[in-house]
Amino acid sequence: MAEGRRADIGIVGLAVMGQNLALNILEHGFVTCIYNRTSDKTKEFLNAEGKGKDFMVAYTLKNLVDSLKVPRIVMLLVKAGTAVDEVLSKLVSLLEPGDVIIDGGNSEYIDSTRREKKLKAKQLLYVGSGVSGGEKGARHGPSLMPGGNIEAWPLIKNIFQSISAQADGAPCCEWVGPEGAGHFVKMVHNGIEYGDMQLISEAYHIMKQVLKLNNDAIGEIFEQWNRTELESYLVEITAEILKFHDEDDQSLLDKIVDKAGQKGTGKWTTLSSLEYGIPLTLVGEAVFARCLSELKEERMLASKCLKGPDNLTSNYPTCSKEEFVEDIRKALYASKIISYSQGFMLMRNTNCAFGWKLNLGGIATIWKGGCIIRSKFLGDIKRAFDREPNLVNLLFNEFFTEAVHSCQESWRRVISYSVLLGIPVPAFSTALAFFDGYRSSWLPANLIQAQRDYFGAHTYKRSDHPDEPVHTDWTKSPSKQSPAPAAQP
């Protein structure tokens, strides 16, 4: 190895994300050393996308480590799971206290927490970073969610904030929190993405089946919505998808089998919300809606024997099409506010669950650009947390309170008509049910407590003595009414 020249960062793993991040980092002026366990992979890359680029190259991990400036920064882009642990076990013996290891893969946050703690004991600074935006993002500006050992942040900040996407002049990269926080935040991002996609699909369903609009017309509407509060990447691509014509000039969308796949991040977000008792109902419904869609064969059978409501004229919206489209837009906006409120509730709860105080305003900034859920709306969320860093719930912020209030009537109308017409709107309706529950100072949970105490002596608390659990023998009511006298024959 040539004396003198040292790399700012080493990249381990040259699958597509590793390649694109390496190119992105290099083009931002950082000396970058690349490594892959299979040297053929490295050579292939240097003959293709990496051709003519000024990379430093290492063919062993030791070479890689030796090529780096101290403190060393090594970023892993290998498959989540055991592959990460394998590379780590080799790296640990080569690195020195104060060096940084970043995992930029799709690791589960629990693994990142475990690794951060283990490496901290060896004085190595571990960072688990969510990377969003896919291949294109990695190449031209991803949204980056680093978390872990905060001592690493000053060392990696410049590289990270240089290569990330920028939105309104701010980098879409901030430190999010300790331990596995980076991967946790990425997981919540993906959960919210599931919710956004389901909400958009429900809006499409209603426009298609209630308003009988064709795909071009619906695409036109999404394009208009992209110029409102709903301006976002997902609304934008939806407009393009709806207007896309196949070679025979028919809509391609109509030819796609209606079974939605999933890779598990929505499920993980939901499991985590169940584990910590945070009602992330919208992501849950979005995951289940995909599961239901998968049961295509059963649905085909059911569609022949299970009847929906009669097609009564009186069940159709009485307003004009334009007015109803605006109702749907508002229903989508209000539901989206609920979904993000729920997502931020889960992230806020990490304070109780793991003692992590996450940088919530920073997270909104990160998501504003580069990632799949990027939108104008995240700017409003950022402003809400700037004004009140300890905001308990987005719905308490004046801007969002007013937004939900102004959408409320439309939202209820859209759900009511959908129910009357037999159109499933699980995400719209769970969002409204959450809103109605959250704003209720009283809920019928007193009855549930009584039932639990009746059959299982689980005890309950009385409003007049809220600190003492009590149990009642419900079969012996002290003031039981004496039975009404039997009617005289």
Could you report how far apart the first and last alpha carbons of the chain are, in Å? 110
Is 38 one of the binding residues for ligand NAG (CB under 6 A)? yes
Is 36 one of the binding residues for ligand NAG (CB under 6 A)? yes
* 36 in a known ligand binding site: yes
Is 236 one of the binding residues for ligand NAG (CB under 6 A)? yes
Q: To which residue do tokens 């030796």 refer?
A: 66
Q: Which of 101, 127, 156, 239 binds ligand NAG (CB under 6 A)?
A: 239
Please indicate whether residue 186 is annotated as part of the active site: yes
Q: Residue 339: name the closest of 309, 369, 381, 297 by CA.
A: 381
Is 78 one of the binding residues for ligand NAG (CB under 6 A)? yes
- Interface positions, 285-314, toward ligand NAG (CB under 6 A): 311, 313
Q: Name the minimum Å distance from CB 132 to ligand NAG.
A: 18
Q: 3-state DSSP: the chain helix, strand, coil percent, rounded to 5? A: 55, 10, 35
Q: Give all strands (DSSP E) within 115-245, no chain letters.
A: 125-132, 143-148, 166-167, 170-171
Nearer to ligand NAG among residue 205 and residue 458 (C-beta) = 205
The stretch near ligand NAG (CB under 6 A) out of 36-44, 119-127, 351-359, 461-469 is 36-44
Phi, psi of 179 (to 5 degrees): 45, -125
- Report how far residue 9's alpha carbon sits from residue 119's, in angstroms, rounded to the nearest whole number: 19
Do 131 and 164 contact (CB within 8 A), yes or no?
Answer: no
Nearer to ligand NAG among residue 234 and residue 404 (C-beta) = 234
Is 102 one of the binding residues for ligand NAG (CB under 6 A)? no
- Report how far residue 405's alpha carbon sits from residue 397's, in angstroms, rounded to the nearest whole number: 12
Distances (CA, A) of 328 to 205, 235, 410: 11, 14, 7
Distances (CA, A) of 219 to 194, 285, 467: 20, 25, 56
Radius of gyration, alpha carbons of the chain: 27
- Report how far residue 480's alpha carbon sits from residue 483's, in angstroms, rounded to the nearest whole number: 9
* 194 in a known ligand binding site: yes
Q: Name the minimum Å distance from CB 35 to ligand NAG.
A: 6
Please indicate whether residue 193 is annotated as part of the active site: yes
Q: Name the minimum Å distance from CB 96 to ligand NAG.
A: 21
Length of the chain: 489
* 4 in a known ligand binding site: no
Nearer to ligand NAG among residue 14 and residue 138 (C-beta) = 14
The β-bridge relationship of strands 73-76 and 9-12 is parallel
Nearer to ligand NAG among residue 240 and residue 246 (C-beta) = 240
- Report how far residue 30's alpha carbon sits from residue 8's, in angstroms, rounded to the nearest whole number: 6
Q: Which of 14, 242, 414, 427 binds ligand NAG (CB under 6 A)?
A: 14
Do 53 and 80 contact (CB within 8 A), yes or no?
Answer: no
Among residues 108, 116, 174, 186, which one is catalytic? 186
Number of shown-chain residues binding ligand NAG (CB under 6 A) = 21
Is 192 one of the binding residues for ligand NAG (CB under 6 A)? no
Nearer to ligand NAG among residue 43 and residue 114 (C-beta) = 43
206-235 footprint of ligand NAG as x/- string (CB under 6 A): -----------------x--x----x----
Q: Which of 7, 11, 13, 17 binds ligand NAG (CB under 6 A)?
A: 13
- Report how far residue 188's alpha carbon sits from residue 184's, in angstroms, rounded to the nearest whole number: 6
DSSP-based three-state secondary structure for 166: strand
Among residues 174, 179, 193, 202, which one is catalytic? 193
Do 37 and 59 contact (CB within 8 A), yes or no?
Answer: no
Query: Which residues are part of the catalytic machinery?
Result: 186, 193
Annotated binding site: 13-18, 36-38, 78-80, 106, 132-134, 189-190, 194, 263, 290, 452, 458
Annotated binding site for NADP(+): 13-18, 36-38, 78-80, 106
Binding site for ligand NAG (CB under 6 A): 12-15, 36-38, 41, 78-79, 83, 87, 223, 226, 231, 236, 239-240, 311, 313, 316
